């Protein structure tokens, strides 16, 4: 247990540092993405146009800059969900009643942070869709999966607020959290691989990034991961302090 | 103290007893089937109003698979909500839980009774849908193949729905909550089933696509039913 408290104290000390570092890294990545990374060539333009003294035959996609924020945020949101699934399993698997609230709190906070990142992914993705594909919404596999994922996470919290008994709330939330994570995976597979005769899957490969594009991308990825970790730890600390305060209040009332 | 030698009934006979109880209750009260049947009819009437203004050139066959699944999903939702309602009256569920049963058996029995009721309602609702909306169309020769996605879809809906309706049994505002949990979870299955149903109705050149959609739906069923079956014990204990 001393090891546990020790590592927890360390994580708590690291959280603010991680937050600041994450903000710095993402800001640097943001600046690099505009100042260093080249514009991406889009579809051919019907007529060559003179823009800024240069003949342009391709549409330059400024909207592609969203990529440097959107993809890291989406990747990190999956990480948060992996933690939700992990702690849900630990909650259900453990026989130790005293440890159960420990796992439940962590699963809930992982879901909270996950939902924040999912909503950020949806917002940035939607802007990108608007400017790259010209529509606010299409039922495209990735968008559909993410919408379903967002609804599942919202449902997770609606479920939590609808139950009063703390133990039952925790168990049901763990069961639903686990199923939701599995369902998100299936949803990804099915929306992608079910043959649709009506509209083609818009398939993009963004691999083969040049170094000037890869560096801001990776910086943003690490920055976002650090921010996610820091948010998780800070929120966890706040919840744990709150729980301690409540139990102290209860003790005072009893005395 | 003398103890009478009692043979523990096998899992299958426990399953039969539980399922028989649900079926007997339904045969006597006819509550679930009437409410679901009437609800399905009402959804069809809403479709009638919604489609009343469509033009002659409108090909309803392209939408028919989707419309059929909207009907199935909402009717199932009503049925799933009701399937545990009578277990709460007079604390019937507590009675079942007092018996040392494997929770997996309780799950399978409840899921089986849900499958039976849902299929019975579809037996009426699908021909009615065809009668109202597909009378003047010419479905492809493969149209009878819609039976398979309906079957696979109903299995999945009943499986995941049984787990979720047990969860929502003890919550505030359970009717709405079931929909909130159920619809996103069942979305992948719905997507695959609509795809297979539409292909059967419209007819496609490569019928392998139909089987691929069906296999996807079947995969969802296997994963989700196994998961629900494993997790059901936790839900019942809570």
Distance from CA of B33 to the nearest CA of A (A): 28
Instruction: With CB atoms and an 8 Å threshold, state whether A189 touches B216.
Output: yes
Q: Which of A175, A183, A195 sits opposite B234 (nearest CB)?
A: A175
R_g (Cα) of chain B, nearest Å: 20
Name the residue in chain B with its Cα closest to that of A88.
B231
Task: Please tell me if residue A155 touches chain B, with a CB cutoff of 8 Å.
Answer: yes
Provide the pLDDT for residue B126. Answer: 93
- Asked if A201 has any chain B CB less than 8 Å from its own CB, the reply is no
**Which residues in B lie closer than 8 A to residue A164 (C-beta atoms)?**
172
pLDDT at A41: 61
Q: Can you read off the two tokens belonging to residue B211?
A: 């089987």
For chain A, which domains are there? 2-254 (1.20.120)
Quick one: pLDDT at residue A45?
55
Which of A174-188, A194-208, B2-16 reaches the highest mean pLDDT?
A: A174-188
Asked if A172 is an interface residue toward chain B (Cβ–Cβ < 8 A), one would say yes
pLDDT band at residue A207, thresholds of 50, 70 and 90? very low
Q: What are phi and psi of A42, to 5 degrees?
A: -100, -145
Residue with tokens 């996950």: A114
Q: For A2-16, A139-153, B117-131, B184-198, which range has the lowest pLDDT when averaged over its residues?
A: A2-16
Q: How many CB atoms are located within 10 Å of the residue B142 CB?
A: 15
- Whole-number pLDDT of residue B32: 86
Query: Which of A149, A103, A101, A143 lies closest to A125 in space, CA to CA?
Result: A143
Q: Which of chain B's residues have a Cβ under 8 Å away from the Cβ of A200?
A: none
Residue A90 clears pLDDT 80, i.e. is over it: yes
CA distances from A211 to A25, A37, B91 (A): 17, 9, 66
B186: tokens are: 């069942």
Positive or negative, the CA dihedral A132, A135, A141, A144 is: positive
Which pLDDT value is given to residue A112? 94
Shortest alpha-carbon distance between residue B30 and chain A (Å): 31
Q: What does each C-alpha distance from B212 to B143, B195, B223 come to in angstroms? A: 17, 10, 17
Which residues share a beta bridge with A58?
Answer: A44
Kindly report which listed range (A36-50, A137-151, A176-190, B6-20) carries the lowest average pLDDT score.
A36-50
Mean pLDDT (whole number) for B94-119: 88
Which residues are within 8 A (CB) of A157 and not within 5 positions of it... i.e. 6 or more apart?
A111, A112, A115
The per-residue pLDDT for A197 is 45
What pLDDT, on the 0 to 100 scale, is given for residue A242? 93
- Can you give the pLDDT at residue A184? 85
Select from B181, B224, B231 the Cβ nearest to the Cβ of A155: B181
Q: Which of A51-55, B88-92, B165-169 has the lowest mean pLDDT?
A: A51-55
Question: What pTM, to 2 d.p., does this model score?
Answer: 0.86
Interface probe for A, chosen from B191, B205, B222, B227 (most Cβ of A below 10 Å), is B191
Q: What is the pLDDT of residue A246?
A: 92
* Distance separating alpha carbons of residues B109 and B98, to the nearest angstrom: 17
Enter the tokens of residue A250: 């209860």
**Cβ pair B178, B165 in contact under 8 A:** yes
Say if the Cβ atoms of B185 and A158 lie within 8 Å: no
Contact B193, B70 (CB under 8 A): no
The closest alpha carbon to A241, from A69, A105, A93, belongs to: A105
Identify which of A126, A87, A129, A86 has the alpha carbon closest to the alpha carbon of residue A105.
A87
A205 confidence band (pLDDT: 50, 70, 90): very low
Give, for A59, the enclosing helix (H) or strand (E): strand A54-61
Residues of chain A with C-beta less than 8 angstroms from the C-beta of B163 = 175, 179
pLDDT of residue A208: 54
Q: Is A208 left (phi over 0), alpha (psi -120 to 50) or beta?
A: left
From CA A83, how far away is CA B187, in angstroms rounded? 23
pLDDT at A55 > cutoff 90: no
Residue whose entry in the numeric block shows the structure tokens 């996470």: A153
Nearest CA in chain A to B165: A172
Of the two residues B98 and B157, the one the predictor is more confident about is B157
Quote the CA–CA distance of A92 and A71 in Å, as a whole number.
Answer: 32
**HSE (CB half, 13 Å, CA atoms) of A209?**
16
Beta carbons of A195 and B228 less than 8 Å apart? no
Q: What is the pLDDT of residues A227-239, one digit of tens each?
A: 999 999 999 999 9
High-pLDDT (> 70) share of chain B, %? 96
Q: How do the domains of chain B map onto residue ranges? A: 11-47+59-237
Q: Do A175 and B219 touch (CB under 8 A)?
A: no
Distances (CA, A) of A62 to A32, A68, A150: 14, 12, 27
Higher pLDDT, B60 or B221: B221
**What pLDDT digit, counting tens, does each position of B40-54 carry?**
999 999 999 988 887
Q: Indicate which of B171, B196, B220 best probes the interface with A, i.e. most A CBs within 10 Å of its own CB.
A: B171
Predicted local distance difference test score (pLDDT) of residue B6: 67
Residue in A150, A172, A178, A191 to test binding to B, most B beta-carbons within 10 Å: A172
In this predicted structure, what is the pLDDT of residue A59?
61
Q: Are B59 and B50 within 8 A, CB to CB?
A: no
- What letter does residue A66 receive in the DSSP assignment? G
Residue A46 scores a pLDDT above 90: no
Q: What dihedral do alpha carbons A82, A86, A91, A96 form, nearest 10°?
A: -150
Contact A179 B231 (CB under 8 A): yes
Question: Does B219 sit within 8 Å of A193, measured CB to CB?
Answer: no
Task: Let me know if B159 is exposed, middle or buried by CB neighbors in 10 A (0-12, 13-18, 19+).
Answer: buried
Instruction: Answer whether A25's CB lies under 8 Å from A230's CB.
Output: no
Is A183 within 8 Å of B212 when comparing Cβ atoms?
Answer: no
Burial B184-220 (b: 16+ CB within 10 A, else e): bbbbbbbbbbbbbbbbbbbbeeeeebbebbbebbbbb
What is the ipTM metric for this complex?
Answer: 0.87
Task: Give the chain B residue whose CA is nearest to the CA of A185.
Answer: B188
- pLDDT for B117 beyond 50: yes
| Position A174 pLDDT exceeds 50 | yes
Residue B159 has pLDDT above 90, yes or no: yes
Q: Say if residue B184's pLDDT is above 70.
A: yes
Helices marked H in chain B:
11-29, 31-51, 61-83, 85-88, 92-98, 103-133, 147-169, 174-202, 208-237
Q: How far is CA A171 from CA A100, A102, A108, A154, A163, in A?
A: 9, 13, 12, 17, 11
Q: What letter does residue A127 receive in the DSSP assignment?
A: H
pLDDT score for B2: 57
Tell me whether residues B167 and A194 touch, CB distance under 8 A. no
Asked if pLDDT for residue B102 goes beyond 60, the answer is yes
The pLDDT value recorded for residue B8 is 73
Instruction: Report, as an integer, the average pLDDT of B165-173.
Output: 86
């Amino acid at each position: 247990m001393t090891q546990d408290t020790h590592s927890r104290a360390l994580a708590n000390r690291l959280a603010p540092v991680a937050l600041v570092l994450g903000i710095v890294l993402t800001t640097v990545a943001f600046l690099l993405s505009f100042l260093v990374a080249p514009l991406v060539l889009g579809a051919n333009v019907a007529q060559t146009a003179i823009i800024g003294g240069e003949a342009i035959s391709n549409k330059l996609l400024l909207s592609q800059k969203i990529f440097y924020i959107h993809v890291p945020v989406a990747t990190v949101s999956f990480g948060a969900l992996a933690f939700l699934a992990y702690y849900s399993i630990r909650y259900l698997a453990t026989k130790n009643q005293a440890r159960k609230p420990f796992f439940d709190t962590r699963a809930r906070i992982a879901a909270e942070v996950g939902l924040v990142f999912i909503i950020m992914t949806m917002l940035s993705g939607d802007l990108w869709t608007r400017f790259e594909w010209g529509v606010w919404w299409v039922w495209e596999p990735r968008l559909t999966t993410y919408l379903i994922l967002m609804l599942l996470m919202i449902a997770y919290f609606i479920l939590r607020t609808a139950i009063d008994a703390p133990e039952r709330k925790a168990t049901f939330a763990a069961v639903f959290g686990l199923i939701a994570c599995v369902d998100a995976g299936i949803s990804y597979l099915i929306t992608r691989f079910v043959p649709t005769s009506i509209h083609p899957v818009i398939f993009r490969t963004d691999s083969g990034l040049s170094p000037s594009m890869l560096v801001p991308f990776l910086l943003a990825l690490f920055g976002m991961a650090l921010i996610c970790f820091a948010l998780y730890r800070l929120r966890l600390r706040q919840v744990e302090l709150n729980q301690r305060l409540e139990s102290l209040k209860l003790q005072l009332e009893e005395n | 103290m003398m103890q009478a030698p009692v043979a523990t009934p096998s899992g299958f006979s426990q399953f039969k007893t539980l399922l028989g109880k649900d079926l007997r209750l339904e045969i006597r009260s006819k509550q679930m089937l009437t409410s679901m049947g009437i609800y399905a009819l009402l959804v069809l009437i809403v479709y009638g109003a919604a489609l009343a203004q469509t033009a002659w050139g409108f090909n309803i066959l392209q939408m028919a698979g989707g419309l059929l699944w909207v009907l199935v999903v909402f009717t199932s939702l009503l049925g799933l909500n009701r399937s545990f309602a009578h277990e709460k009256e007079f604390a019937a569920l507590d009675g079942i839980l007092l018996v040392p049963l494997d929770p997996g058996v309780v799950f399978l029995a409840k899921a089986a009774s849900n499958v039976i009721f849902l299929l019975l309602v579809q037996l009426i609702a699908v021909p009615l849908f065809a009668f109202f909306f597909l009378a003047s169309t010419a479905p492809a020769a493969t149209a009878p193949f819609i039976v398979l996605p309906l079957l696979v879809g109903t299995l999945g809906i009943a499986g995941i729905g049984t787990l979720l309706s047990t969860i929502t049994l003890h919550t505030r505002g359970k009717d709405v909550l079931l929909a909130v949990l159920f619809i996103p979870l069942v979305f992948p299955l719905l997507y695959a089933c609509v795809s297979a149903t539409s292909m059967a109705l419209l007819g496609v050149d490569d019928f392998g696509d139909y089987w691929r959609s069906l296999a996807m739906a079947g995969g969802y069923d296997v994963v989700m039913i196994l998961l629900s079956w494993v997790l059901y014990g936790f839900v019942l204990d809570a």
